[in-house]
Amino acid sequence: MNLELLREERPLVHHMTNEVVMNFTANGLLAFGGSPVMAKEPEEVEDIASVAGALVLNIGTVRKEDIETMIKAGQAANKAGVPVLLDPVGAGATSFRKNAVQRIVDEVDVAVVKGNAGEIAALADIPLNVKGVDADESGDAEEIASRAAGKLQTLVVVTGETDVISDGQERLTSSHGTPLLGSITGAGCLLGSLMAACMSVEKDHKKAALFALEFYNRAAERAAKKVGGPGTFIPHLLDELGKADG
Ligand SMILES: Nc1ncnc2c1ncn2[C@@H]1O[C@H](COP(=O)(O)OP(=O)(O)O)[C@@H](O)[C@H]1O
Ligand SMILES: Cc1ncsc1CCOP(=O)(O)O
Ligand SMILES: [Mg+2]
């Protein structure tokens, strides 16, 4: 994965995402070196998705009518060879969300599904306690990732204290990061944006996902050393995302 190339190209990442994290995600992706655009108007999503470097579909505050639009955008991305990342926010919380994800993966060729353990477990039909958009960390993330990858037939990323990437056969794990990421909203959503930006320049999506995970979590570790709590963590995280890895 060539970060210099990404920063030169500044890939456009089309987001159809939730209202909670739009600003934070846009700032984080800009700091990292990508170019965010948030757009969900049915009349324009195909035009934007087909010229983007990657498309993020995030169901955090999705409404019934948005699902059709996401599918439309996803299919336009597929036609143009633009990779699609799906973040199944809160998928374990309601059957509406779980069904929304199922419809999207049935109708769109999704390259990566990235979520926390509770969300991905729900998609793999593994029972776990889920409270809203936050994860229950009691499950076996490796097992959850493998089962979900098999069921969804996509690359799956399960986030948490240890992150797992699975394509159903091979599993990669990464244990960087800081618990402070769990004390701000949008930590997972921003990771998805960075991953999508990396997928636009690195066609081996497993490599792109691992690079994004490690880069992001190491930046968060450095930021955590400089702060006393979640309020000051956010600006330090943005600063660290703009630096070289290390
Ligand atoms: N306890 C933890 N220690 C270290 N890193 C964590 C911890 N919990 C989450 N992370 C990191 O925070 C980011 C968001 O993960 P997570 O909290 O699982 O997602 P979400 O915000 O979607 O629930 C990931 O990069 C993950 O590696
Ligand atoms: C709090 C909340 N509610 C609906 S979407 C959302 C943001 C979730 O962000 P993340 O999954 O990155 O924690
Ligand atoms: Mg999330």
Ligand 2 proximity of 20 Cβ (cutoff 6 Å): yes
Report pLDDT for 155. 98
Q: Domain limits of the chain? A: 3-239
Minimum CA distance residue for ligand 1 atom 10: 160
Ligand 2 proximity of 181 Cβ (cutoff 6 Å): no
- State the Cα–Cα distance between residues 226 and 230, nearest whole angstrom: 11
Report pLDDT for 131. 60
User: 3-239 belongs to which homologous superfamily?
Assistant: Ribokinase (3.40.1190.20)
Q: Which pLDDT tens digit goes with each residue over 38-84?
A: 999 999 999 999 999 999 999 999 999 999 999 999 999 999 999 99
Closest ligand 2 atom, residue 21 Cα: 7
Ligand 2 proximity of 112 Cβ (cutoff 6 Å): no
The ipTM estimated for the assembled molecules is 0.99
Q: Which pLDDT tens digit goes with each residue over 143-188?
A: 999 999 999 999 999 999 999 999 999 999 999 999 999 999 999 9
Three-point CA angle 9, 10, 14, nearest 5°: 125
Span from the CA of 8 to the centroid of ligand 2 (angstroms): 30
Report pLDDT for 135. 60
Span from the CA of 181 to the centroid of ligand 3 (angstroms): 11
Average the pLDDT over 207-212 and give the result. 98
Cα–Cα separations (whole angstroms), residue 54 to 11, 12, 82, 153, 157: 8, 7, 5, 19, 17
Q: Which pLDDT tens digit goes with each residue over 112-145?
A: 999 999 999 999 998 776 666 666 566 689 999 9
Ligand 1 proximity of 58 Cβ (cutoff 6 Å): no
Whole-model pTM: value is 0.96
162 among annotated binding-site residues? no
Closest of 138, 147, 91 to residue 115, by C-alpha:
91
As residues whose CB is below 5 A from the ion ligand 3, the structure lists 89, 188
pLDDT level of residue 208 (50, 70, 90 thresholds): very high
Strand partners, 156: 113, 166
Main-chain dihedrals φ then ψ at residue 136, nearest 5 degrees:
-95, 120
Report pLDDT for 219. 98
